[in-house]
Amino acid sequence: MPFARRAFLAATTTPLFAQSPARKPVIVATCKGDHTVAFVDPFSLQVLARVPTGEGPHEVCVSADGRTAYASIYGVAGRPGSQIAVLDVDTRKEIKRVSIAPMRSPHGIVECRGKIWFTAEQSRAVGRFDPVSGQVDWTMGTGAWVSHMLVLKPDASKLYTTDIIDNTVTVIGLTAAPGRPPVFRHIPVRERPEGIAISPSGHEVWAGHNVNGDISIIDTTRDQVVHTIPNSSKMAFRLAFTPDGKTVAVAGATAQELLLFNAATRELEARIATPGSVPQGLLISPDSKLLFTATGPKILKVDLTARRLAGECAPGDGVDGLAWAS
């Protein structure tokens, strides 16, 4: 084959644009005690970076493309926060802080369909930040005291908050049929609801209680409690569904244990002791094989297949919220 033809074929079979290497997964963790966000390798548990933020970052979420993290800057006693910190996951640097004023004390924060949704505890409200416009483009009162954590249905049709003082879960409809008002309801539940999780299908919401460790299960079609698991632990502080929808993890904070429930049967399948550590924030890897829990000074890793502790690290003081970026 003539040299010119070989050169032409080589040029035409070479990609015009080199593909960027796959982004390595990273855990983004808020450390409210030292006012930082940490980046941690989920496999080696090496702390990759610690980034200063505003006072008291509590919860965190990550954009769908894994490039941007959003941390709620809750504030500290006597100085409530009114900001969301925006961080670049690749460079591990803070990009900016978004004001949510006049709302105060942002806490629960989640990403859904490209928008960032958050609670504002002291304002008894929820809000939505649009990363494209850079603005808070929607707010609504919950009418309840201490609306703490929130979840959304995957299609962003409804939002649910746990209302710690009022002993309710507030449901807010974000869409409505023509001629009908959106749903707005306070669902009575057991005492001190705080943790909340929604099934990957969006059909069930599980709310955990800080008194007696009860778990209220809500049918999201009827928006009613259809089942209660009593006394799961001394405190059902946080909950998380595995992405495959098969298991619900519960942080039994005061009992220093993690509980694993079968999501279909609602039966307890395993207890994993965390002696000396108080499980709080929960995170489960996309393949449903690893669980991570924030315990204040540490992050613990759990092998969900073997159902045992598999490592730990200390990324900062007051580790609280966890999110997965990849």
* Domain ranges for the chain: 24-325
Residue 56 tokens read as 């008291």
Does the pLDDT value for residue 49 go beyond 80? yes
pLDDT reported for residue 177? 67
In the predicted model, what is the mean pLDDT of residues 63-83?
96
Average pLDDT over the chain reads 92
Q: Are 93 and 111 in contact (CB under 8 A)?
A: no
Does the pLDDT value for residue 3 go beyond 60? no
In the predicted model, what is the mean pLDDT of residues 37-51?
98
In the predicted model, what is the mean pLDDT of residues 63-69?
97
Residue 49: CB atoms within 10 Å: 15
Share of the chain above pLDDT 70, in %: 93
pTM: 0.91
pLDDT reported for residue 201? 97
pLDDT reported for residue 15? 42
In the predicted model, what is the mean pLDDT of residues 291-309?
97
pLDDT reported for residue 21? 58
Q: Which residue has the higher pLDDT, 20 or 190?
A: 190
Taking the C-alpha atoms of residue 174 and residue 2, their distance in angstroms, rounded to an integer, is 66
pLDDT reported for residue 232? 87
Taking the C-alpha atoms of residue 106 and residue 161, their distance in angstroms, rounded to an integer, is 13
Does the pLDDT value for residue 4 go beyond 80? no
Residue 297 tokens read as 């000074």
pLDDT reported for residue 181? 74
Share of the chain above pLDDT 90, in %: 88
Taking the C-alpha atoms of residue 158 and residue 121, their distance in angstroms, rounded to an integer, is 19
Number of residues written out for the chain: 326
Give the DSSP letter string of 17-50. SPPPPPPPPEEEEEETTTTEEEEE-TTT--EEEE
R_g of the chain, CA atoms, integer Å:
21
Sequence-ordered alpha helix ranges (H) in 141-191: none
Domain 24-325 superfamily per CATH: YVTN repeat-like/Quinoprotein amine dehydrogenase (2.130.10.10)
Edge-to-edge strand list for the sheet holding 224-229: 193-198, 204-209, 215-219, 224-229
In the predicted model, what is the mean pLDDT of residues 87-105?
97
In the predicted model, what is the mean pLDDT of residues 108-134?
97
DSSP state of 304: T
